A and B are shown apart, each in its own frame.
Chain A
Amino acid sequence: MKIVRYQARVDESKCNGDKLCENMCPAGAIKVIDKKAVVDPDNCMACLRCEDVCPHSAVTMEKLPHPRFVGVDPAEIEKMDVTDLNALCLEAGLMADIPMCFCTWTQAKEAATAIMQGAKTPEAVTRKTGVCTGCGIYCVGSVLKLLKAQWGELDPPKSGLWVDSTVSMWDVSDEVEEKYPEFHLKEDKQVLFE
Chain B
Amino acid sequence: MIVPAIQPPPIMPSKYGPAAAMRAADLPGIGSLSVKELFPEFAPEMFNHYGGDLAAIIKATEDALAGVDMSMIKPGHTVNILSCEHGFSIFGGGPYVEMIKTIKRVVEERTGCKTRLRLAMYRGFKEADEVREYFGLDEIFEGRVAGAGPWDKGLEIETEIGPVYVVKKVFDADWFIHAYYDDPREIYFHRMLNRGLKAFVMAYARVETRSAFHFSFLNRGGAVLPRAIYNSPFIQEKHAFSCFMRTSPNGIIGIDGDNDLLAIDRRITINHLKTFGKMVRLIADLDDFIAIWDGGRWGYYIHAGGVCFGVVMNCDFDAFDLEQPAALSGLDDLIHKRDPEYIMDMNRAIKAVVINQSWPGIVISDVPKLAPTILVGRQNAELWDKDPANPHFMDFAVTAETLPAAVNFAKRVGGTEKVLAFDGSFGYLTLSEPLAEEMLAKAPAISTKVDEHYLPMWLAQRGIDMAEV
Interface pair A103/B217, CB less than 8 Å apart? no
Interface pair A161/B330, CB less than 8 Å apart? no
Question: In whole angstroms, how far apart are the Cα atoms of A95 and B330 in the complex?
Answer: 11
**CB of A182, distance to nearest CB on chain B (Å):** 6
**CB of A171, distance to nearest CB on chain B (Å):** 5
Interface pair A103/B151, CB less than 8 Å apart? no
Contacts A48-B386, A165-B164 known; A137 to B211 CB distance under 8 Å? yes
A61 touches B (CB below 8 Å): yes
Question: In whole angstroms, how far apart are the Cα atoms of A99 and B337 in the complex?
Answer: 12
B69 touches A (CB below 8 Å): no
Question: In whole angstroms, how far apart are the Cα atoms of A103 and B385 in the complex?
Answer: 13
Interface pair A48/B220, CB less than 8 Å apart? no
Taken residue by residue from 367 to 394, chain B's Cβ proximity to chain A (1 for < 8 Å, 0 otherwise) reads as: 0000000000000000001101111100
Residues of B332-391 at the interface with A, using a CB-CB cut-off of 8 Å, are 333-335, 337-338, 342, 361-363, 365, 385-386, 388-391
B91 touches A (CB below 8 Å): no
**CB of B190, distance to nearest CB on chain A (Å):** 11
**CB of B348, distance to nearest CB on chain A (Å):** 21
B218 touches A (CB below 8 Å): yes
Interface pair B215/A103, CB less than 8 Å apart? no
Cross-chain contact of A171 among B161, B193, B208 (Cβ < 8 A): B161
Taken residue by residue from 119 to 148, chain A's Cβ proximity to chain B (1 for < 8 Å, 0 otherwise) reads as: 000000000000001111111111011000
Instruction: Give the contact stretch, choosing among A2-10, A11-19, A31-39, A77-85.
Output: A2-10
Interface pair B207/A137, CB less than 8 Å apart? yes
Question: In whole angstroms, how far apart are the Cα atoms of A173 and B161 in the complex?
Answer: 7
A104 touches B (CB below 8 Å): yes
Cross-chain contact of B463 among A5, A102, A105, A182 (Cβ < 8 A): A182
Interface size on A, residues (CB 8 A): 61
Question: In whole angstroms, how far apart are the Cα atoms of A192 and B385 in the complex?
Answer: 36
**CB of B200, distance to nearest CB on chain A (Å):** 13
Question: In whole angstroms, how far apart are the Cα atoms of A2 and B391 in the complex?
Answer: 8
Residue of A nearest to B206 (CB): A163
**CB of B65, distance to nearest CB on chain A (Å):** 30
Interface pair B150/A137, CB less than 8 Å apart? yes
Interface size on B, residues (CB 8 A): 62
Measured between beta carbons, the chain A residues less than 8 angstroms from B154 are 160, 163, 165
Residue of B nearest to A107 (CB): B333
Measured between beta carbons, the chain B residues less than 8 angstroms from A165 are 154, 156, 163-165, 206, 208-209, 212
**CB of B379, distance to nearest CB on chain A (Å):** 15
Residues of B195-225 at the interface with A, using a CB-CB cut-off of 8 Å, are 206-212, 214-218, 220-225
**CB of B146, distance to nearest CB on chain A (Å):** 15
Interface pair B220/A183, CB less than 8 Å apart? yes
| Sample of 25 A–B contacts (CB below 8 Å) | A48-B386, A52-B126, A53-B125, A97-B337, A98-B333, A102-B363, A102-B365, A135-B389, A140-B208, A141-B208, A163-B154, A163-B156, A163-B208, A165-B208, A165-B212, A166-B208, A167-B162, A169-B222, A172-B161, A173-B161, A183-B222, A184-B220, A191-B342, A192-B334, A192-B338
